[in-house]
């Protein structure tokens, strides 16, 4: 069931709707706020839009790196599973 949450990011009050629970939404908001704060420290221009864009780029970079890592792990698991199946078939 969707629930409305009032959150604050980059000094802006926002209302978001989510199926997730309170704790998950709080974790997401906390994570975004951490990324925004880090981005704000690394830019000379403290414009909120520039900070938000940099934070979004950093989050996207992390996501894509993790997605690539996940694919690598799945590929390794698939290869190992196939080797195990061949070993088991060879034993029979």
Answer whether residue 86 is part of any domain. Answer: no
How many domains, in total, are found in the chain?
A: 1
Answer whether residue 84 is part of any domain. Answer: no
Model confidence at 92: pLDDT above 90: no
pTM of the prediction?
A: 0.75
Q: Which among 19, 12, 51 has a CA at the least distance from the CA of 35?
A: 51
The pLDDT tens digits for 18-31 are 999 999 999 999 99
Q: Indicate the average pLDDT of the chain.
A: 93
Share above pLDDT 90 across residues of the chain, in percent, rounded to a whole number: 85
Model confidence at 65: pLDDT above 90: yes
Query: Considering only 12-16, 23-27, 46-50, 76-80, which range has the smallest mean pLDDT?
Result: 46-50
On the CB side of 18, CA atoms within 13 Å amount to: 16
The pLDDT tens digits for 67-79 are 999 999 999 999 9
Answer whether residue 51 is part of any domain. Answer: yes
Structural domain containing residue 48: 3-66
């Amino acid at each position: 069931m969707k629930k409305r949450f009032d959150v604050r990011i980059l000094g802006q009050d926002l209302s978001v709707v989510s199926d997730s629970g309170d704790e998950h939404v709080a974790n997401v908001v906390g994570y975004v706020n951490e990324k925004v704060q880090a981005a704000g420290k690394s830019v000379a221009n403290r414009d909120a839009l520039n900070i938000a864009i940099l934070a979004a780029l950093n989050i996207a970079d992390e996501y894509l790196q993790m997605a690539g890592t996940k694919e690598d792990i799945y590929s390794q698991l698939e290869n190992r599973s196939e080797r195990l199946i061949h070993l088991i078939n060879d034993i029979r």
